Amino acid sequence: MAAPETAPLDPMAPLVARVTRRHHDAPEVFTLELEPEDPGALAPFAPGQFNMLTVFGVGEVPISFSGDPVDQNRLVHTIRAVGPVSGALTELEPGAAVGLRGPFGVGWPMAEAEGKDVVVVAGGLGLAPLRPALYRLFAERERYGKIVLLYGTRSPDDILFRRELEAWRGRLDAEVEVTVDHAMAAWHGNVGVVTTLIPRCSFDPAQTVALVCGPEVMMRFAIAALMDAGVAADDIYLSMERNMKCAVGFCGHCQFGPVFVCRDGPVFPYARLRGLLALKEL
């Protein structure tokens, strides 16, 4: 029996990619564009999935895709420098090598959302894992009903992807609202928590899919506001963040109750996590 021409990829073995561009988005937040040395070796990514990125000699972290899924050869990741590995990643200059495993996980339910209104609620860096879904929604605009994007962050200086937000806000076929928790008086936009924007928006709750990503406490309150507005628990999807290590459900570091976030998520329907989110330190 002849050996296959290419062996199946070992999910634990990183490929090498090069940084092609580094962009400063907000305080401590950078976007890296990566080009794999062997682009054909990677499976296409879907909105909501993530890669494991390695800084050689430092460590490996899970980072969601934040780029356009149409451009599969340009891998875009937006990273906040919060620890040694993410900090080292944000300091990489163009040309630097990184290790890359992926794409992993279950992404946003783009097919399930077709024909329905889509409400996207993002908080802080949570806009990054949602951006590929937004690219897809706007690229295939005719497939969806109303599109509502609600984005909350700490202050005007912390707003991510400002250029795209402004472009999306300028569209006549989408409702886009941005709010910050606090601002100097020169800011003329909204101030207040993102959940307060939900009752102000126009969508059909019985025919809505909601995509939510942000700090867990913000997601809990966003879920409550969406359900108060009449959106069913089955139609609310969250992107969860846990301590993902192997990314393929072997190690159990990211176990969250009965699920492994890396393998079964990171995107889950809220109905599957109901009850778990309220548990402290799970």
Partner 1 sequence: MEGLERIVKEHVFFADLTDDFCKLVCGCAKNVRFEAGDYLFREGDPADQLYVIREGRVAMELSAPGHGSMTFQTVGEGEIVGISWLIPPYRWTYDAKALERIRAISIDATCIRRKCEDDHDLGYELMKRFVPVIIERLHATRLQMLDVYGTKS
45-74 residues in contact with partner 1 (CB under 8 A) are none
> To the nearest whole angstrom, how small is the minimum distance from the Cβ of residue 191 to partner 1?
5
Kindly state the smallest distance separating residue 223's Cβ from partner 1, in Å: 13
Residue selected from 58, 191, 229, 276 as contacting partner 1 according to rule CB under 8 A: 191
Q: Could you give the count of Cα atoms lying within 13 Å of 110 in the half-sphere of its Cβ?
A: 21
Three-class DSSP category at 215: coil
What's the number of CA atoms in the CB half-sphere (13 Å) around residue 181?
6
Window of 91-99, 185-193, 242-250, 257-265 that interacts with partner 1 by CB under 8 A: 185-193
Min dist CB 199 to partner 1, Å, is 9
The helix/strand/coil state of 128 is helix
Q: Would you call 59 helix, strand, or coil by DSSP?
A: strand
Residue closer to partner 1 by CB (options 80, 131) is 80
* Segment lying near partner 1 (by CB under 8 A), choices 55-63, 66-74, 180-188, 270-278: 180-188
Strand positions, DSSP E, 85-136: 97-104, 117-123
The region of 11-19, 148-156, 162-170, 265-273 touching partner 1 under the rule CB under 8 A is: 148-156
How do 117-123 and 147-153 pair as beta strands? parallel
* Per-position b or e across 125-158, b if 16+ CB within 10 A of its CB: bbbbbbbbbbbbbbeeeeebbbbbbbbbbeebeb
β-partners of residue 75 are 34
Q: How far is the CB of 4 from partner 1 (least distance, A)?
A: 46
- Per CB under 8 A, the segment of 34-42, 95-103, 140-148, 216-224 that binds partner 1 is 216-224
Nearer to partner 1, 80 or 101 (CB): 80
Q: Among residues 187 and 250, whose Cβ is nearest to partner 1?
A: 187
Give the β-pairing of 117-123 and 208-213: parallel
Strand (E) or helix (H) holding 111 = helix 110-113
* One of 11, 36, 59, 215 touching partner 1 (CB under 8 A): 215
Residues 195, 225: contact at Cβ < 8 Å? Answer: yes
Sequence-distant (≥ 6) Cβ neighbours of residue 260 within 8 angstroms: 249, 252, 254
Calpha distance 157→27 (Å, rounded):
8
Indicate whether 192 belongs to the interface with partner 1 (CB under 8 A): yes
Q: Does 277 bind partner 1 (CB under 8 A)?
A: no
Kindly state whether residue 278 participates in binding partner 1, applying the rule CB under 8 A: no
What residue ranges bind partner 1 (CB under 8 A)? 28, 80, 82, 123-125, 152-154, 158, 179, 181-185, 187-193, 195-196, 200, 214-215, 217-218, 221
